Chain A
Amino acid sequence: MIDIIGKRYWFFLISGVAILLSIIFLVVFGLKPGLEFSSGSSMTISFSQKVDHGALKEELANLGYGNSIVQTIGTGESDFLIRTVALTDEAKKQLEAGLTDKFGPLTEKSFQTIDPIIAKQTSRTTIIALIVATFVMLLYIIWAFRRVPKSFRYGTTFTVALVHDVLITAGVFSILGVLAGWEIDLMFITGILAVIGVSIDNTIVVFDRIRENVRKGISSSFEAVANYSIVETLTRCLNTTITIVITLVVLLVFVGGSIQNFVWVLLIGSIVGTFDSVFVAPSLLVVWEQGEWGRFLHPSRASR
């Protein structure tokens, strides 16, 4: 049988490094708030002829929108996404007229504008939602594992696992924010919540098996029981992740568009979540059960 728990400190090291990197990136660069959290207008326009990205940016500056973000969409060099401050109908009309004068006729494919009031409200509601969701799920876990001896340990381990997944996923987005200008929008938060759900699902399956095997008393060593349980559930965890990854990759390749970032959150999150529920969360439980932290912190006692 594969010995997973035995290599637990390697997994802790991998997770630790990933978390550390994530925290560094999150602290130094943060996450780029998207339109929904920062307010502003965004429009997708399509020119009837090729337009140079730089020239478009320059013209926007001439029109008084120097801080705008301009992204080319597709490969035609005629479709662009433009992000500006929140535009009124009047200002939008002037902006489009100005661009038409310079670059010829354009069609507006989509337009979105978000007032600062709404952006603030959205941010507040989102934060409340994240806190409530986490809290309710932890309550559920404590309830689900209420009959297990030391259920508090399961609950705490779940929390650590959850923080682990969210931190690393957010960290990856922070890195992508720096490298590729990725922003976090409402769908990012939705993705994070879904990731929390999926990650807890996986951890529940593993812990459920540990719970069952402890009851059966298959071994007096908790480490052995935990390892046995992980191996038993390993194929299930991997196969489920594989099917979810398949569907996500299909979404990414064939749909993309406005849900691209969302799919990436789910993709990164499910992989991190699976890693965590197989390699990290049960190991944490073992370390706690065997009191290894104490020995780790007080080496003198360990040597005794």
Chain B
Amino acid sequence: MARRNVLIFIILALFAFSLWVLLPIGGERFGRQGIHLGLDLKGGLHMVYKADMSAVAKGQETSVIEGVIAVIQNRINPLGVTEPVIEKMGADQIVVELPGASITDVEKGRIGRTALLEFGELVGEGETAKWTDALGKWKPATAVIDGQEKELTSQYFKENTYVRTDEFGGVLLIFQWDEEGSKLSEAITGRLVDKPLGIFEGDEPLLGDDGRPIAPTVRSVITTSGQIEGLSRKEATALSKQLNAGRLPVPLALVYEQNVSPVAGADFVSLSLKAGLIGIILVMLFMIAYYRIPGALASLALIFYGALNLAIFKLIPVTLTLAGIGGFVVSIGIAVDANILIFERMKEELRGGRTLGAAIEAGFSRAWSAIWDSNVTTFIVCIILIIVGGQIASGAPVRGFGLTLLIGTVVSMFTAIMVTRALLRLFVGTRLANKTSLFSPYVGGKK
């Protein structure tokens, strides 16, 4: 009797804990702010870029992609998106998820631009300008090397750009040119002493902390290595990262895009909540109508199941997509399945004339192999879905379904075996236990 009470106590404590984690739905627990909603529910932008790695040397792919990711991160930070996801997918793809964000086309275009930085000089009389900013009109800084006119860009930097502080506390950005870069730099800086050198990314000048373009003045001819002074530490660090990532031209192509307006998703949240609730209630009604007291206990277990499941979603956290909610609702059906298997076994045992206590134990132990076997295939399917979903650009719903179904199945085994059994055992030895008809349909009739 004592052991039984301990189990009931643990179950109640776990239930209370689940509710505490869960409520209020939007509240914070263990640093988790509400239940994570996927882009299809919350709205937002989901993009996949494919990097053209043809210019990248073998063995350098990973570091190059990581550099590109750092650059994209820098471009996204100023947009003020909460919890953006920027990660590598496969060998040469980059996933960018901006939940709840609505950004302009210009901002979107900037995200996927090549990380290459270009250097510019002020235009002379009658020359066409490529860039115009607060400091004036600029054209690409070029020089003729080996009979070819070439532009000075970040691809000529060596990888070892870094930031240090000089003895007076000034921030220095130290860089080195490679062989060809040295020749270009020598020719260009030789021409531009005491003149500014603009730095541009795509169509935009690189802006400093104060919003003014960064355009260091050339002090002397720079050949193999040089330094940029007068930047703030933040500017210098950001620039050094960008220079390191921009050494190689890695054009990005937008290969997948999904954009959902927050309004379109909002309807689905309340609809799915309703669906989940109605689903649970209908299943409960069916269980009670068919299996009576065990059905009612299974319904209690189902409430426990729902609370524990959602609490786990919140804690991990699982990002709920529409498909993920589908997986959760389907797992309600599976959660009931384990109970049904057990109750059917119990029914047979009761028909065989056993007492309630014996029937419960036999029902549980004998149904176990079928429960286990039939859930293994679900596990296999779920794991494959999770893996596959993570490798496909549009795979978020697949992954979401797999994940919620997997969690649901594991939790359902726990609730069926532990909770339903503990609740059923409460009846053993009570007066109700003798009325076996309450525990099983059609017992004691014919047959």
Q: Does any Cβ of B come within 8 Å of A230's Cβ? A: no
Query: 1/0 per position for B322-359, CB-CB distance to A under 8 A?
Result: 11011001101110110011001000100000000000
| Surface stretch bound by B, among A6-14, A232-240, A284-292 | A232-240
Whether the pair A240, B329 counts as a contact (CB closer than 8 A) is no
Q: Which of A22-30, A122-130, A163-171 contacts B (4 or more CB under 8 A)?
A: A122-130
- Check if B73 is an interface residue, CB within 8 A of chain A: no
Q: A110-B264, A113-B256, A250-B278 are in contact. Are A255 and B376 (CB under 8 A)?
A: no
Contact pattern, B 239-271, Cβ under 8 Å of A = 1, otherwise 0:
000000000000001111111110110001001
Query: Among the listed stretches A63-71, A148-156, A258-266, A295-303, which one makes contact with chain B, having 4 or more residues with CB under 8 Å of it?
Result: A258-266
Residues of chain B whose beta carbon lies under 8 Å from any beta carbon of chain A: 40, 48, 50, 105, 108-109, 253-261, 263-264, 268, 271-272, 274-275, 278-279, 282-283, 286-287, 290, 322-323, 325-326, 329-330, 332-334, 336-337, 340-341, 344, 348, 369-370, 373-378, 380-381, 384-385, 387-388, 391-395, 397-398, 401-402, 405
Say if the beta carbon of A201 comes within 8 Å of chain B: yes
Indicate if the CB atoms of A197 and B377 lie closer than 8 Å: yes
The residues of B that contact A247 with a CB separation of less than 8 Å are 279, 282-283, 329-330, 332-333
Given A208-B369, A243-B337, A259-B322, 16 further pairs, Cβ under 8 A:
A110-B259, A118-B256, A140-B380, A144-B376, A186-B392, A190-B385, A190-B402, A193-B385, A204-B373, A205-B341, A232-B348, A239-B290, A251-B279, A255-B268, A255-B272, A263-B326
Quick check: B393 and A239 within 8 Å, CB to CB?
no
How close is B418's CB to chain A, nearest CB, in angstroms?
Answer: 20
Q: Determine which of B323, B380, B393 lies in contact with A137 in the assembled complex, contact meaning CB atoms within 8 Å.
A: B380
CB of A161, distance to nearest CB on chain B (Å):
12
A253 to B325, CA, bound (A): 14
Q: Chain B residue with minimal CB distance to A88?
A: B254
Taking the nearest CB of chain B, how far is it from the CB of A253, in angstroms? 8
Most B CB within 10 A of own CB, among A186, A200, A242: A186
We find that the number of chain A residues with CB closer than 8 angstroms to chain B is 65
Chain A residues, Cβ within 8 Å of B271: 254-255, 257
* B405 contact set on A, CB distance < 8 A: 194
Compute how far the CA of A258 lies from the CA of B325 in the bound complex, rounded to whole angstroms.
Answer: 12
With contact pairs A109-B263, A250-B275 given, residues A257 and B322 touching in the complex (Cβ less than 8 Å): yes
A140 contacts B259, C-beta separation under 8 Å: no
Q: How far is the CB of B76 from chain A (nearest CB, A)?
A: 17
Some 10 contacts from A to B, beta carbons below 8 A apart, are: A110-B260, A126-B392, A136-B380, A186-B394, A205-B341, A239-B340, A247-B283, A250-B278, A255-B268, A262-B326
B26 to chain A, nearest CB (A): 21
- Which listed residue (B259, B332, B344) contacts A236, Cβ 8 A? B344
Q: Is A99 positioned at the interface, with any CB of B under 8 Å from its CB?
A: no
> Which DSSP category, helix, strand, loop or mixed, fits chain A's interface?
helix
For residue A93, which residues in chain B have a CB less than 8 angstroms away from its CB? Answer: 105
Residues on the A chain within 8 Å of B50, using CB: 115, 117-118
Known contacts A254-B275, A255-B271; decide if A110 and B330 are in contact (CB<8 Å): no
- Do A109 and B261 form a contact, CB below 8 Å, given A36-B394, A187-B398, A244-B330? yes
Q: Which residue of B lies closest to A41 (CB)?
A: B257
Q: Is the CB of B394 within 8 A of A122?
A: yes
Chain B residue nearest to A238 in the complex (CB): B340
Say whether A82 faces chain B, with CB atoms less than 8 Å apart: no
Q: When the two chains form their complex, are residues B377 and A201 in contact, meaning their CB atoms are under 8 A apart?
A: yes
Whether the Cβ atoms of A111 and B278 lie closer than 8 Å is: no
User: In the complex the two chains form, is B333's CB within 8 Å of A197's CB?
Assistant: no
For the complex, what is the distance from the CA of A109 to the CA of B265, rounded to whole Å?
9
Bound-state CA distance A242–B333 (Å) is 9
Knowing A187-B397, A262-B323 are in contact, say whether A208-B370 is a contact too (CB < 8 A): yes
Cα distance A115–B329 when bound, in Å?
32
Which residue on chain A has the smallest CB distance to residue B348? A232
State the CA gap A93–B255 with chains docked (Å).
18
Q: Give CA–CA (A186, B253) in the complex, Å.
A: 23
Is there an interface contact between B255 and A204, defined as CB atoms closer than 8 Å? no
B337 proximity list for chain A (CB < 8 A): 201, 240, 243-244
Across chains A and B, which 7 residue pairs bring their CB atoms closest together, nearest first?
A244-B333, A115-B255, A201-B374, A254-B275, A197-B381, A109-B264, A250-B279
Which residue of chain A has its CB nearest to the CB of B341?
Answer: A236
| Residues A118 and B268 in contact in the complex (CB < 8 Å), given A137-B377, A250-B275, A251-B326 | no
